Amino acid sequence: MNYTLHQLQVFLKIVETKSITKAAHELFLTQPAVSIQFKNFQDQFDISLTEVVGKQVYITDFGFEIARMAQKILDEVNAINYKTQAYKGILSGRLKIAVVSTGKYIMPYFLTDFLKEHPGIDLTMDVTNKSKVLESLENNEVDFALVSVLPQRLAVNEEVLLEDNLYLLGNKEHQFNQGPYKKSIFNEIQLIYREVGSGTRFIMESFFEQSKVNVRKKLELTSNEAVKQAVIAGLGFSVMPLIGVHNEVMLKDLNIIPVAGLPIKTKWRMIWLKTKKLSPVAETFLDYTREHKKDIQDKSFSWVKELSLE
């Protein structure tokens, strides 16, 4: 066999995305280039790595086995590079973080200066919903996870990064200036939900359950951005964390509607498994976060309190 490291990287990206087109996009390569690399890799095996049904790429059991071994090979190659930098006195390695979708408005501010101080560190940050974030954490695929709702069935340590508030939001055409309104307002408006598994949805539904409020669900969307754009377009209302709608509220594209019982106060927490032995890179990032989080809060998130309605 005469496969290359590049072919391993291409194959792993195909396994991850289940698409040659998506793999090419994420690798910043053309689709023909990825197809050629994959064909050259497949030609070295007598057993198929993938199956194509319609336009969908499916990975065979043999393909998954090869992918696992390929990942180990690439991990070892990365370890060589990190070890070389360590001998030069440079902190190096990979920091892996899973972030719930709204957390993308927070985590970069805690990472930017840290990564500038330690250019030998490679970052992998997966932005997805709460269920997948916790799955990655439980499977020990990441060092840290950023969530607003603590998992009930996982034993974790936590570091609170930021406080946040959830409000009822409508677009600029909906003027509600006589509040605070009673919770019965939720019986009269059409609400837009996040998908099942979202932390925002869990907080929202818990509030309705505790308040014994019946609501009219209009839409269910799979990202904070999608919900935000739907509210701006006038498709309905939603209860959303302030951290994700800063610009839209400042520009008056979204209006905070005062309601009794709101805001719902939450905390953004960086969590990690109690049983996990953190790598030197992860330990250093945790120490950095604890030391600098107050400065980061004051510098980048002072507007949260300024916009909050108490």
Residue 228 confidence (pLDDT) = 92
Q: Is the pLDDT of residue 99 over 90?
A: yes
Class of domain 163-266: alpha beta
Task: Please list the residue range(s) of the chain that carry CATH number 1.10.10.10.
Answer: 5-83
Task: Tell me if the pTM is above 0.85.
Answer: no
- Contacts of 275-282 with CB under 8 Å at 24 or more apart are 275/155, 276/140, 276/143, 278/143, 279/93, 279/143, 280/91, 280/93, 281/91, 281/92, 281/93, 281/94, 281/95, 281/118, 281/121, 281/143, 282/95, 282/143, 282/144
Residue 234: strand, helix, or coil? coil
On whether the CB atoms of residues 147 and 197 are closer than 8 A, the answer is no
CA distance 206 to 19: 38
Q: How confident is the model at residue 237 (pLDDT cuts 50, 70, 90)?
A: very high
Task: Please list the residue range(s) of the chain that carry CATH number 3.40.190.290.
Answer: 163-266
pLDDT digits (tens, 9 = 90+) for 252-304: 899 888 888 889 999 999 999 999 988 888 999 999 999 999 999 999 998 88
The domain defined by 91-161+267-303 folds into D-Maltodextrin-Binding Protein; domain 2 (3.40.190)
Residue 129 confidence (pLDDT) = 84
The H-assigned helical ranges of 18-88 are 20-27, 31-42, 61-87
Residue 215 confidence (pLDDT) = 81
Residue 82 confidence (pLDDT) = 66
CATH of domain 5-83: 1.10.10.10
Peptide bond into 180 cis (omega under 30): yes
Task: Please list the residue range(s) of the chain that carry CATH number 3.40.190.10.
Answer: 91-161+267-303
